[in-house]
Structure formats: structure tokens, C-alpha cells
């Protein structure tokens, strides 16, 4: 009998083993039998841990997020300017790193579920994920506001920044479009001391 920790680890391992399969074939083209095969377990075992493919991709997203978050934390620690931190936060949308490219493809598959399969579990997972990254961006902006890099009203732009960048991502816009958007955004949000001496 597996302990709770061992079960959590097995669940993660099953999800991680599907990464290449999701990238190669896409969410809609994969069967539970194929997932069981690449995971090296029986089909029944898959259903012990997951109710459906959606739950597998949520678990996989969670694993990829852990990896992404660790790297992000390290990059943010060494970044100085708010714009640089923002680019690190949204690295998944345009990075040429091979690992990030895989994460990006899995994220595309996940977004397909979010856009086309609205249900309570999907909304709950997406809300938790967005809340985490909203908090990270809010902390980045608050620090920049305290340093007089950007205006206080910048905090009001957080939801629209996520919506715009996700829209660019879904529309498959070139990374240059993303960079130009971020440049323009910071021209708009830049703090300028209006006091006259």
C-alpha cells in the first residue's frame, strides 16, 4: 500500500510521462490507453489517479509550473528593472529555450481546455493559476512603484496585461509584437516627477 506522499509522487510521474505525448499528438488525439502505455501502468491505474485527460493535463501543468516558478524566482532575484522582471514573468510566451518551448506547447493544450471546456474544475484550476501569477506581477509592480519607476495606477493594468499577452499568445503573434507592447506599456506607466522646482 502506497503512502499519501508516494501516491502524490506517482500521480506526478504519470502526468510528467505524458509530456512528450501531448506535444507530439495534442490533447484531443490522445487516448487513455496511450497515456497508460507511456506511463508504464495499466489503464485502470490511470483512472485510480485521474478522472479524465483534463485532470492529467492539470497535473502536468502543475509540475511544469513548479519547474517554471523555481527558475522565475531565481531570475527575478537578479533582475533590476520592472520591465526586465515582466519579460521574465512572461518568458513562456516567447523564449527560444527548448524546455520553455515544450512548456509553451503544453500551455497551448491547456488553454484549449480552458477555452472550450468550461466547467467548475477548469475554472477552479485556472483561477488558482491566474491568482498566483497576478500576485507575482502585483509584487513586481509594487516594488517598482516604491522605487518611482512606474506610477501607482499601474496596478490597475495587471488584468489587462495578462489578457493582452495571452491574446497575443493565442493569436500566435511574433515575439517582436510582445516586446513592442511591453515597451509601449512602460512608456505609458513610467513615473515622471511633475513637481516644478
Please list the pLDDT of the chain residue by residue as tens digits (197 residues): 888 898 999 999 999 999 999 989 988 899 999 999 999 999 999 999 999 998 999 899 888 888 888 888 888 988 988 989 998 888 888 888 888 888 888 888 888 888 887 778 888 888 888 899 999 999 999 999 999 999 999 999 999 998 999 888 888 888 888 899 999 999 999 987 644 44
Q: Any idea what the Cα angle at residue 45 is, between residues 41 and 48, rounded to 5°?
A: 155
52-189 topology per CATH = Tetracycline Repressor; domain 2 (1.10.357)
- Residue at grid coordinates 499601474: 154
Burial class (CB in 10 A: 0-12, 13-18, 19+), 158: middle
Burial class (CB in 10 A: 0-12, 13-18, 19+), 142: middle
The SS3 assignment for 150 reads: strand
Name, in order, each residue with C-beta under 8 angstroms of 169's C-beta and a sequence gap of 6 or more: 93, 107, 111
| Confidence at residue 108, expressed as pLDDT on a 0 to 100 scale | 86
8 Å CB contact between 109 and 26: yes
| Confidence at residue 10, expressed as pLDDT on a 0 to 100 scale | 94
CA distance 91 to 74: 13
- What secondary structure letter does DSSP report for 30? -
| Confidence at residue 69, expressed as pLDDT on a 0 to 100 scale | 87
| Confidence at residue 129, expressed as pLDDT on a 0 to 100 scale | 86
| Confidence at residue 193, expressed as pLDDT on a 0 to 100 scale | 60
| Confidence at residue 156, expressed as pLDDT on a 0 to 100 scale | 95
Amino acid at each position: 500500500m502506497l503512502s499519501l506522499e508516494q501516491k502524490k509522487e506517482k500521480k506526478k510521474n504519470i502526468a510528467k510521462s505524458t509530456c512528450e505525448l501531448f506535444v507530439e499528438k495534442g490533447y484531443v488525439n490522445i487516448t487513455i490507453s496511450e497515456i497508460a502505455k507511456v506511463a508504464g501502468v495499466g489503464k485502470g491505474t490511470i483512472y485510480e489517479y485521474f478522472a479524465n485527460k483534463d485532470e492529467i493535463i492539470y497535473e502536468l501543468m502543475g509540475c511544469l509550473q513548479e519547474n517554471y516558478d523555481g527558475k522565475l524566482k531565481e531570475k527575478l532575484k537578479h533582475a533590476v528593472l520592472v520591465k526586465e522582471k515582466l519579460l521574465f514573468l512572461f518568458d513562456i510566451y516567447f523564449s527560444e529555450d527548448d524546455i520553455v518551448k515544450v512548456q509553451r506547447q503544453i500551455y497551448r493544450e491547456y488553454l484549449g481546455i480552458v477555452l472550450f471546456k468550461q466547467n467548475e474544475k477548469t475554472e477552479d484550476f485556472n483561477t488558482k493559476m491566474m491568482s498566483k501569477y497576478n500576485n507575482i506581477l502585483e509584487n513586481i509592480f509594487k516594488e517598482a512603484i516604491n522605487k518611482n519607476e512606474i506610477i501607482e495606477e499601474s496596478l490597475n493594468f495587471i488584468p489587462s496585461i495578462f489578457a493582452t499577452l495571452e491574446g497575443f499568445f493565442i493569436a500566435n503573434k511574433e515575439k517582436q509584437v510582445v516586446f513592442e507592447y511591453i515597451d509601449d506599456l512602460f512608456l505609458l506607466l513610467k513615473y515622471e516627477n511633475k513637481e516644478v522646482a
